[in-house]
Structure 1
């Protein structure tokens, strides 16, 4: 166990992101009276349990193998996954918002403070270090996506101007990073197999941006529709690219499939709530079915890898 703990991956928080996203999906479906509350409650507390378990294991790693944590924190790719920790807290805040408001507010304050610190450190790290273009991959979006999650619950706790600040920072960097990624994808070497599943992260920024904008502005306007349709575009694009995902060896990065699928499912429910157009209801059920199947499959593969002792290994 001690040897395994040394290489416990920070990327494990991507599991919490996927599960928390599914909890929020079930919450929205319960709110719309499309699912019984029990599904939401089971998923909610299961996600909290997984989050606490992963956090305890990584804390033990930090205590016993602090040099490995420092290596993770200064790694050109793994540094981006530290923001998955704060994003997990923010997602738990959203998931608990209607169930336990005080806990939701506590999670939101902790998540916002931690994410702000990690986001600023990560952006400073990008600026202060020289990167070759091949190091760029969709995982770079993770610190930025978190900014647009903050307003979703944040509009309940602070003035809207605060939420607009985080939304604006997230939107600004999403456009810049996507431009860099498109340059890397078209004109340079293909992504390593391990990071091909992270292409699904491309769905998340516009989908979360749409939800955040609706929460702040409460307006079904041109900009809201633009964000929503861009997220659908990326979903269709990934469907066209389905051959790139065939015969991939399983890595924990496969959890990158899950959270963006939850995001676009929630965005579809919100679009139906505010526009009352039936197409969004059908899309909500369609994406939820895909999301549940995907998370079930990835969870099954993860349990298999854990049993084979192939998760906590030296990735270098």
Structure 2
């Protein structure tokens, strides 16, 4: 045996074996986007009830389902971190996957909003750890984008907005739990870095070619920032009659139209956990439009909001069933092809 072959054999022997094709090591951190979709839809149903004077228990049911899914996701992903720490660390530092780490914090804060009219104590118990995680994750993810030489323009995708939009989500329940300075901190970071990141993401979409199919559903995330920004602006003391809120609602409607124009292509994309990226943006846009309608906006806002809520609800039901099938088949623990 040559020295080179001996060295190679020695390296192979000392390296840990790769995880099998189906392993907890492959569980994606994006599973927390499921909670975002369910919780966001719960909030949208609450808005619908307020706007139309309905007393439907859909929002409360979805909130509790979301909490159960969050608990399951924390247990499952916590087991991955404990058993396969190298796989988790690799995911957190990955140029493409790192952005999805923020779904952990955002899912907690979205559920905090859903539980605010149900139990302020539960809402606070979700919001505070979510807000702390949001602060930490935003710093760490942006450090990765800045300092990691592997990050190139081709790695950019709309899910990069998740660590940023999470800051805009924080004030929606944070107004009830934290001092004004903390909520304005989150809003400022979210608004400034959303606008700063927007041309970077658009450049990727316009000039770097079509995204891989697994990331195609993240195109829906473009809807979320203006929707959440408008909701938080009003929650922090603004009004739906303010020029800023009206402008943001206009951007929401445009983004919904742009998403609808791509639906023929998006329907052909095979199922993956990333498909849950459709749900929260649609639910957030429904919440914003229905809240604006309740405040006196035109009936057009109500119609678009109802359509967005119906789409979000149908997607939550359909993706929930498909995800349950994927869990039963072990697809969520399969290595990416």
TM-score normalized with structure 2 length: 0.89
- Partner SS, residue 177 of structure 2: coil
- Matched with 1:118 is 137
Distance across 1 between alignment mates of 2:76 and 2:235: 35
Distance across 2 between alignment mates of 1:34 and 1:286: 18
Greater alpha carbon shift after TM alignment, 228-237 vs 163-172: 163-172
Structure 1: segments with no counterpart, 5+ residues: none
- In 2, are the aligned partners of 1:196 and 1:244 still within 8 Å (CA)? no
What count of residue pairs does the alignment treat as equivalent?
316
Distance across 2 between alignment mates of 1:52 and 1:184: 35
Which of these residues, 125, 137, 156, is aligned with residue 157 of structure 2?
A: 137
- In 1, are the aligned partners of 2:50 and 2:294 still within 8 Å (CA)? no
Cα drift, residue 120 of structure 1: 0.7
Structure-2 change in CA distance of 1:103 and 1:36 (3 Å): same
Distance across 2 between alignment mates of 1:230 and 1:51: 31
- Partner SS, residue 25 of structure 1: helix
Cα drift, residue 231 of structure 1: 1.1
- Matched with 2:3 is none
Cα drift, residue 232 of structure 1: 0.9
Q: Deviations over 1:198-230 (max 9, x none)?
A: 000000000000000011133221011111110
Q: How does 1:59-208 map to 2 (within 5 A)?
A: 59-130=78-149, 131-208=151-228
- In 2, are the aligned partners of 1:26 and 1:35 still within 8 Å (CA)? no
Q: How does 1:1-316 map to 2 (within 5 A)?
A: 4-32=23-51, 34-130=53-149, 131-219=151-239, 220-315=241-336
Distance across 1 between alignment mates of 2:142 and 2:43: 29
- In 2, are the aligned partners of 1:21 and 1:91 still within 8 Å (CA)? yes
Cα drift, residue 3 of structure 1: 5.0
Q: Deviations over 1:51-74 (max 9, x none)?
A: 001111111111111121111111
Alignment RMSD, CA only?
1.8
Structure 2: segments with no counterpart, 5+ residues: 1-19
Distance across 2 between alignment mates of 1:2 and 1:137: 26
- Partner SS, residue 62 of structure 2: helix
Q: Deviations over 1:179-201 (max 9, x none)?
A: 01111111122111111110000
Greater alpha carbon shift after TM alignment, 37-46 vs 258-267: 37-46
Cα drift, residue 34 of structure 1: 4.6
Structure-2 change in CA distance of 1:271 and 1:313 (3 Å): same
Distance across 1 between alignment mates of 2:245 and 2:320: 33
Distance across 2 between alignment mates of 1:256 and 1:34: 29
- Partner SS, residue 143 of structure 2: helix
Distance across 1 between alignment mates of 2:100 and 2:251: 24
Cα drift, residue 33 of structure 1: 5.2
Distance across 1 between alignment mates of 2:57 and 2:320: 20
- Partner SS, residue 234 of structure 2: helix
- Partner SS, residue 217 of structure 1: coil
Structure-2 change in CA distance of 1:57 and 1:211 (3 Å): same
Cα drift, residue 242 of structure 1: 2.2
Instruction: Tell which structure's C-alpha radius of gyration is larger.
Output: 2
